[in-house]
Amino acid sequence: MSDTIDVPKSLSGTGSWLDDRFRGARWLRAVLHKVYPDHWTFLLGEIALYSFVILLLTGTFLSLFFVPSMNEVVYHGSYVKLDGIKMSEAYASTLNISFDVRAGLLMRQIHHWSADLFMASLTIHMLRVFFTGAYRKPREVNWLIGITLFALGLLEGLFGYSLPDDQLSGAGLRIFEGVLQGIPIVGTYAAFFLFGGPFPGNSIVPRMYIIHVLLIPGLILALITAHLFIMIHQKHTQMPALGNTERNVVGQPFYPYFITKTTAWFFFIFLACALLATFASINPIWLYGPYSPVAISSASQPDWYMGILEGSLRVMPAWEINFLGHTLSLSVLLPAAIPFGIILVGAAFWPFFERWATGDKSYHNINDRPRNAPIRTATGMATVTFYGVLWAEGANDVLADKLQIPLYTVTWIARVLVFVGPAVAFIVTRRICLGLQRKDRELLEHGLETGIIRQLPQGEFIEVHRPLNEEERAPLEAKKVPALLPGAGSADENGVPAPQARGVVGRARTIANRAFAETIVAEADGHGNGHGNGHGPADEHAAVSAGSAGAEERAEIGPGELPESSIPHPDPLVWHPHEEPPEET
């Protein structure tokens, strides 16, 4: 790629002036030359980024008119159905934004839709990173930043939709207060401190407002900035394809290609949020009325990303115990701590667990295909199933009403599925991944089906296969087979047992390593023409028919079925720490 970039004359003078004072030309040149690979899944992170930008813009507008106060007033605004009703200033100002401020309702709707879009895109982006193994060395820190962003997004959303002080958000705050009080010993003090006294008090809305508009957005902005700078420094991962290696980045430069594409993508996302806000109403707080602790509305549901906590509370039996004079409400404490504890803590430790189990300390700039990592993909789908069951249980009253079945039947179904569902999802996903690997092996060994049927001289019919071209073969051949670590009881030539295989931890690591090493090895001939390609069909067909079953049996590697020497070593073109970082092309 050329080192020169045509800069418009209108910018050259300004650039020279700035460079003379801040010496930024070299840095700017590097940024303009930065290469970004192309793949549709990489747009998920941009959706999260731009929806957060939209949140900042619309939130700034709303903060100009919102009054974060719980002082009681009598409403006499444009919404006549609530005329004369006592309510907090927060709820009254939200009604004022919705009905009296020009474009206020549109901004509220865009803000709420952008919040949902931010959490949705962030969730799917993290799933993409997990399933493709993009969290591996050297990107563990960015993975941890993503998990922190997700946790902060949950709190930001909770405090955000609780600010209007309507009946729906007040019910959510009541649950939040109960969860705080369920924490042993310190829970009651934490709830009293946050709410400034007995629920609901007069301090919670102003305090949530400060947290919502200053503290958490500042943390999210700082983490997103760190995330982007780390990504730019470490360079973007790329999908396995022809010409993509661990030592290069193949794509388009930041200027003018990427900046043009990403700017258009921002306006497209903004347009999507504006259209949703225009034609799909969300959170119509005027229908719920002001919050009253003695009232509750039916079919109350939080925003979708908080549905798992709602579901875990509904699925949990009414358990509580007394310990050292303290009442432990397990029916509140466990649902609040376990679901997100399993998901967030498990996700944070997974990169380090996988590296420990596989012994893989090399750098990874090429993503895995999910099928090539059955245990990782199966674990991810089990987690998605666990999340989905609890999320659906959060609407058990709606499901019971729509399906015309008893409420407790829905609850008991969820109680069973929350354990059985993830196990079934793990087993099924693992088998699907291995089946897809066998399909890839078949393509490499026999080529692609053409739909052409040939009749052999002896009267037998076969289908003609064509060889895979280089572009088709590249993703299949990019698969790396993990190495087996020494197993329990193994010893070197001197009879000394392997240190990493000793003890309970060593045996556990051996079991985990054998699970991660399970794969299907493709035994291609280097051309992918297999049988029936039009060159010697009779002999070719006979050879494949006789040896296909044996080849499949040899190629399937299960836990402990092959010695370490039979597992190919990782790709020698691995970026090692003492080498230069990947080059960009």
pLDDT reported for residue 500: 65
Q: List b or e across 380-399, with b for residues whose CB sees 16 or more CB atoms inside 10 angstroms.
A: bbbbbbbbbbbbbbbbbbeb
- The backbone torsions φ and ψ at residue 458, rounded to the nearest 5 degrees and listed phi first, read -80, 5
Spatial contact of 87 and 69, defined as CB atoms under 8 Å apart: no
Spatial contact of 275 and 107, defined as CB atoms under 8 Å apart: no
* Half-sphere exposure (Cβ direction) of 293: Cα atoms closer than 13 Å: 6
DSSP-assigned beta bridge partners for residue 583: 248
pLDDT reported for residue 564: 35
pLDDT reported for residue 439: 93
DSSP-assigned beta bridge partners for residue 35: 253
Q: How far apart are CA 44 and CA 129, in angstroms?
A: 10
The pTM is what?
Answer: 0.84
Same domain, 47 and 184: yes
Asked whether residue 91 is domain-assigned, the answer is: yes
Provide CB contacts within 8 A for 169, sequence distance 6+.
161, 162, 163, 285, 291
Structure token pair of residue 164: 């209007």
pLDDT reported for residue 142: 95
Same domain, 20 and 52: no
Nearest C-alpha neighbor of 204 from the set 214, 213, 193: 193
Asked whether residue 344 is domain-assigned, the answer is: no
Same domain, 161 and 282: yes
Q: How far apart are CA 332 and CA 319, in angstroms?
A: 9
**Cα distances (Å, whole numbers) of residue 243 to 250, 252, 309, 343, 470:** 8, 14, 45, 36, 10
In 404-533, which ranges are continuous DSSP H helix?
Answer: 407-446, 470-477, 503-516
Same domain, 1 and 128: no
pLDDT reported for residue 488: 64
Nearest C-alpha neighbor of 67 from the set 211, 209, 212, 216: 209
Q: How far apart are CA 566 and CA 562, in angstroms?
A: 6
Same domain, 114 and 224: yes
pLDDT reported for residue 526: 46
Same domain, 20 and 155: no
Same domain, 134 and 14: no
Q: How far apart are CA 331 and CA 315, in angstroms?
A: 9
Q: Could you say which residues of the chain have pLDDT below 70? A: 1-8, 10-11, 487-501, 523-585
Q: How far apart are CA 244 and CA 366, in angstroms?
A: 8
What residue has token string 């020698």? Answer: 572
Spatial contact of 112 and 302, defined as CB atoms under 8 Å apart: no
Of 298, 333, 361, the last residue of a domain is 298
- Our count of domains for the chain comes to 3
User: For residue 181, how many other CB atoms are within 10 A of its CB?
Assistant: 17
Provide CB contacts within 8 A for 459, sequence distance 6+.
none
DSSP, collapsed to helix, strand or coil, labels residue 166 as strand
Q: How far apart are CA 134 and CA 130, in angstroms?
A: 6
Asked whether residue 258 is domain-assigned, the answer is: yes
Of 267, 298, 329, the last residue of a domain is 298
CATH of residue 272's domain is: 1.20.810.10
Asked whether residue 444 is domain-assigned, the answer is: no
What residue has token string 């300390």? Answer: 361
Q: How far apart are CA 515 and CA 200, in angstroms?
A: 51
CB-count exposure of residue 178 (10 Å: 0-12, 13-18, 19+): middle
For the stretch 319-340, pLDDT in tens is: 888 877 777 888 888 888 888 8
Asked whether residue 351 is domain-assigned, the answer is: no
Instruction: Report the DSSP pairing between strands 86-88 and 519-520.
Output: unpaired
pLDDT reported for residue 552: 35
Same domain, 9 and 110: no
Asked whether residue 539 is domain-assigned, the answer is: yes
Of 298, 318, 337, the last residue of a domain is 298
Spatial contact of 149 and 163, defined as CB atoms under 8 Å apart: no
Spatial contact of 363 and 137, defined as CB atoms under 8 Å apart: yes
Asked whether residue 394 is domain-assigned, the answer is: no
pLDDT reported for residue 184: 82
Same domain, 171 and 227: yes
Same domain, 29 and 57: no
Residue span of the structural domain in which 557 resides: 451-488+497-584
Same domain, 63 and 175: yes
Asked whether residue 183 is domain-assigned, the answer is: yes
Nearest C-alpha neighbor of 282 from the set 112, 158, 154: 112
Same domain, 171 and 268: yes
